[in-house]
Chain A
Amino acid sequence: MIDEAGIRELILKKIPDAQVRITDMTGTMDHYDIRVRSAAFKGISLIDAHRMVSSALREAHADGRIHAMQIKTEIPENETR
């Protein structure tokens, strides 16, 4: 288990400008819907943007604190890909 603040902190460590929205999908603190908006995703493929987020959470996923996650990444509206 990990709380939303914990996830946010891990993502911000890797992607400092990230705007993060987290939803606990099951109420069990281990299935999360994670939406990240960052200019860091500019110019990279969607799959690499997702890798950036998942690598920030790699340990929490590997040790089981996060059982499942779905990720959405976005570029801020004033930026273009």
Chain B
Amino acid sequence: MNQIREQIDREIAEHTILIYGKGTKDAPLCGFTLETIEFFNRFGYPFEVIDVLEDMPKRQVLSEMTDWPTLPKVFIAGKFYGDTDILEPMAQSGELQKVLEEAFAGTGVRPTVKLH
């Protein structure tokens, strides 16, 4: 369990926007994972999708550490943001754009699409 947790912590530290989902970016295997990929495509910041569909022990650790039972699970700058049910209202209020700008501030990464 500890090894799994360490691996997750490493992955979260490595990717400013990280989606744990079912399938990959090129081949999402779940409608909600696809929806989340399309959601982040709108913003133009780089993001990573890690497929945990078949990895039940890792899914278990992820659910426990987030108190969130479902996939996908989204982390931005190390903080857990649930899924698009949370992110969509945040995008509508403009809160998410601020979170993303702050998350990427100082990294030199610029969005490839205009945010406003």
Contacts and interface: CB of A to CB of B under 8 A. Distances in A.
Given A54-B68, A62-B69, A69-B70, A47 B32 contact: no
Contacts of B67: 51, 55
Given A68-B30, A68-B32, A70-B32, A47 B86 contact: yes
Contacts of A47: 80-82, 86
Interface residues of B, number: 15
A72 B32 CA distance: 14
A46 B32 contact: no
A50 B69 contact: no
Name the prevailing secondary structure of the A interface residues: helix
Interface string A45-70: 01100110011011001100000111
Interface residues of A, number: 15
B69 A54 contact: yes
Nearest to B81: A47
A24 to B, nearest CB: 14
Contacts of B90: 46
Contacts of B80: 47
